[in-house]
Amino acid sequence: MKYEIKELPEVRVAYLRYKGPFGAGIGEFWKEVFTPWQKAYGLVNKVTYGVAQDDPSTTPASECRYDACVEVSADYEVKPPAQLGSIPAGRYAVAQFKGTADQVPAAWGEFFGQLHAEGKADAGVCFERYPADYAMDPVTGEFSSELCIPVKA
């Protein structure tokens, strides 16, 4: 998998948490919960992030946590049910993803495997970054995002 090493700045986010098995449930959470909330609070046309808080290979599926996030300004007042968080600054391997939601887990697996084999993967938050003009093809279900994994200096 092709990737670039980038220094990314810290990003302040508002997020809603999903808890349960990774996969189709996360897509439904974005569609049924996060996107309507995002629209209701005027947070559209902003960069969004998907942050897996747990490793699904070591955490029971029912306990896996995933945060759907949107960038917010320093003065944005986060109101429940949203919570305030941040994506940490750091050095990340960033790979382009284009495909459907059911292809995301395999892409992550390939990317993690490659970085571990190269000895570059580091501990820290891994996330998907979606552009402010994010769009999913209504016919194919394809979309584009970036997969970001912390790497050693």
What pLDDT does residue 12 have?
98
* Contact of 108 with 65, CB cutoff 8 Å: no
What pLDDT does residue 55 have?
83
Question: To which residue do tokens 């292809």 refer?
Answer: 103
Tell me the pLDDT tens digit for each residue of 20-54. 998 888 989 999 999 999 999 999 999 999 999 98
Is the pLDDT at 105 greater than 90? The verdict is no
What pLDDT does residue 121 have?
95
Two tokens, residue 121: 């993967």
What pLDDT does residue 97 have?
97
* Contact of 6 with 92, CB cutoff 8 Å: yes
Other C-beta atoms lying within 10 Å of the C-beta of residue 16:
18
What pLDDT does residue 14 have?
98
Is the pLDDT at 56 greater than 90? The verdict is no
Q: What's the average model confidence in pLDDT over 105-126? A: 94
pLDDT band at 13; cut points 50, 70, 90: very high
Confidence (pTM): 0.94
What pLDDT does residue 27 have?
87
Contacts of residue 66, defined as CB under 8 A and 6 or more positions apart, other chains included, come to 17, 18, 19, 22, 26, 29, 50, 51, 52, 53
First-residue to last-residue Cα distance in the chain? 20
Beta bridge partners of 99: 143
